[in-house]
Copies of this chain bind each other. A is one copy, B any other.
Amino acid sequence: MIPPIPRPTIYDVAARAGVSKSLVSLVLRGSANVSPSRRRAVDAAIEELGYRPSRAASSLAGSRSRTIGVVIDDFGNPWFVDLLRGLRSVLDPEEFHVTVADLQLDAVSGRNPVDGFLAMHAEGLVLAAEPEPAMLERLTIPTVVAGSRECIPSGADIVATDDVLGARMALQHLFALGHRSIGHLTGRSGAARLRLAGYRESMSEAGLPALVTGELGGTTEGAGYAAAGELLDDHPGVTAIFAANDTMALGALAALRERGREVPRQVSVAGYDNTAIAAASYLNLTSVDNHSDDIGVDAARALLARIGDPEREPRHILRKPSLVTRSSTTKPPP
């Protein structure tokens, strides 16, 4: 058990600096109406005492929670980790708290994370998931949609990466290596649908048949395993597999190994999202980077702008993805 450590208060700072508590407050808020000498005295007292202003206390005293809620689909798919980093790089210095809830488990219980964030007086919402339209009915706080989503609440800003372009980049890479028989693993999600569209466009433009599995499944590792198995059984001649995300690509690796197909010597594999899974040295997957950290930065800025001006015209920012090539893709076997 840790004994409570006494924490210096604003009164201690005021006493040490020989000024009033209100003057310390003014200094903390960066007010221009403080003389340089008094500011120096307060700064010195803050440093000597190791004083840190209590954001919780000031929030509780005021009417603002200074909280931004982030709704994600599934904590098991780590693509959102970079998004959070980007959000926080903007929101932390503005002294907002960022907290996350997922839809994955709510599907069972009927709980609604949007209602949850309203109940906790969140000041803004980042939708990085596919909520049911019903969840958005009472959405009265500034909202930004991050990523490609099927359901967009009216009045929300949108910040996304161009998923069609990302898929086209992956296909361009596989074409350049010499692949022609390329399968695609897809699943039910707004982002997967756009990646599928990019795949279809690319294959069609190259005069090649689209080989797609998983259209009725999810986008998990298990779904990728199942879809890859189906693809390999139906089209044993594929020399490359492009998966709608890295987690599905990990599932595909298992299906390939089970069939004795070596990666990348016999079959190349590319994922999407450039998550920690793709970057892990052991897996080292070629993947499309959707720059989720930049999406987070843009989403946070859009949210702050809307909190500052709720009447602001909604904007739609579409960023360019890029391709990270690693050892899971190479030339097809001769």
Chain B residues, CB < 8 A from A120: 65, 67, 97, 99, 120-122
Chain B residues, CB < 8 A from A259: none
Chain B residues, CB < 8 A from A88: 105, 109, 111
Contact B69 A76, beta carbon cutoff 8 Å: no
How far apart are the CA atoms of A122 and B109 in the complex, in Å?
21
Asked if A7 lies at the interface with its beta carbon under 8 angstroms from chain B, I say yes
CB closest residue in chain B, given A92: B109
| Residue among A2, A119, A251 with max Cβ neighbours from chain B (10 Å) | A119
How far apart are the CA atoms of A183 and B267 in the complex, in Å?
35
Contact B115 A97, beta carbon cutoff 8 Å: yes
**Taking A120-B65, A138-B56 as contacts, is the C-beta distance between A154 and B99 under 8 angstroms?**
no
Q: How many residues of A contact B (CB 8 A)?
A: 71
Chain B residues, CB < 8 A from A5: 133-134, 137
Asked if A211 lies at the interface with its beta carbon under 8 angstroms from chain B, I say no
How far apart are the CA atoms of A3 and B250 in the complex, in Å?
39
How far apart are the CA atoms of A152 and B3 in the complex, in Å?
10
**Taking A5-B133, A138-B56, A254-B282 as contacts, is the C-beta distance between A81 and B76 under 8 angstroms?**
yes
How far apart are the CA atoms of A109 and B136 in the complex, in Å?
32
Give min CB distance, A32 to chain B, whole Å. Answer: 25
Chain B residues, CB < 8 A from A98: 101, 116
Closest 6 CB pairs of A and B: A97-B116, A254-B281, A59-B119, A56-B115, A92-B109, A254-B282
Beta-carbon contacts of A55-98 to B below 8 Å, as 1s and 0s? 11101100001110100000110101100110010001101011
Q: List 18 A-B contacts (CB under 8 A).
A: A2-B133, A2-B151, A2-B153, A2-B154, A7-B138, A54-B115, A56-B116, A56-B138, A59-B119, A75-B75, A75-B81, A88-B109, A88-B111, A93-B109, A99-B100, A120-B121, A250-B282, A254-B280
Contact A75 B80, beta carbon cutoff 8 Å: yes
Contact A118 B78, beta carbon cutoff 8 Å: no
CB closest residue in chain B, given A75: B81
Give min CB distance, A70 to chain B, whole Å. Answer: 9
How far apart are the CA atoms of A81 and B97 in the complex, in Å?
21
Asked if A257 lies at the interface with its beta carbon under 8 angstroms from chain B, I say yes
Chain B residues, CB < 8 A from A106: 92
Contact B84 A154, beta carbon cutoff 8 Å: no
How far apart are the CA atoms of A100 and B100 in the complex, in Å?
5
Contact B276 A119, beta carbon cutoff 8 Å: no
**Which of B100, B116, B251 is close to A101, meaning CB atoms less than 8 Å apart?**
B100
Asked if A4 lies at the interface with its beta carbon under 8 angstroms from chain B, I say yes
**Which of B119, B254, B258 is close to A56, meaning CB atoms less than 8 Å apart?**
B119
Give min CB distance, A201 to chain B, whole Å. Answer: 25
How far apart are the CA atoms of A188 and B188 in the complex, in Å?
40
Asked if A113 lies at the interface with its beta carbon under 8 angstroms from chain B, I say yes
